[in-house]
Structure 1
């Protein structure tokens, strides 16, 4: 599939709107164990070109479990999943090894199409 710039921008704006304020950003293992939960800001992100870059993401001060991050979900503030991102191809993390009780954060989060 190839999108025009206009279509890509429209799709990312719709995604940004659907995610909304105070998004829930959760990190899971391949076995569906929730490792950590972070929170987006008052508006999820900003669209530029073919990228939706998240604004402020509040870190999780204490990870819920120990494991290797496999995917990240981005959901509305009430938990309705909007997008699932694969760690390594869709989203890059400083480390994929997460330890229970330790802080977890993203330096940035960008969805590109």
Structure 2
């Protein structure tokens, strides 16, 4: 059982978890519906044991959770975590866009001032 990431650790842990192609594919599959590790293994070119290890990493990052349904364990993406990560990335992107816009305005102002 792993501890939930803190607010500062969460984005880096989540991005590190998503930096693996297999984990990304697992998350994409879980986006449509909850699935068991066996179902995921049937759709991906890795063993069920490898899927279980990838799921543990995604769960430790707070991106996936597990629910026991009878004898089966179903895994699902945590939409709120994914939305929060997307929001943080969007905010960073907007900050960069704003900085680039200000830089372009300064460059245009200097070009206009020097062209007289």
TM (normalized to structure 2)? 0.31
Bigger proportion of residues as helix: 2
Q: Max radius of gyration: which structure?
A: 2
Bigger proportion of residues as strand: 1
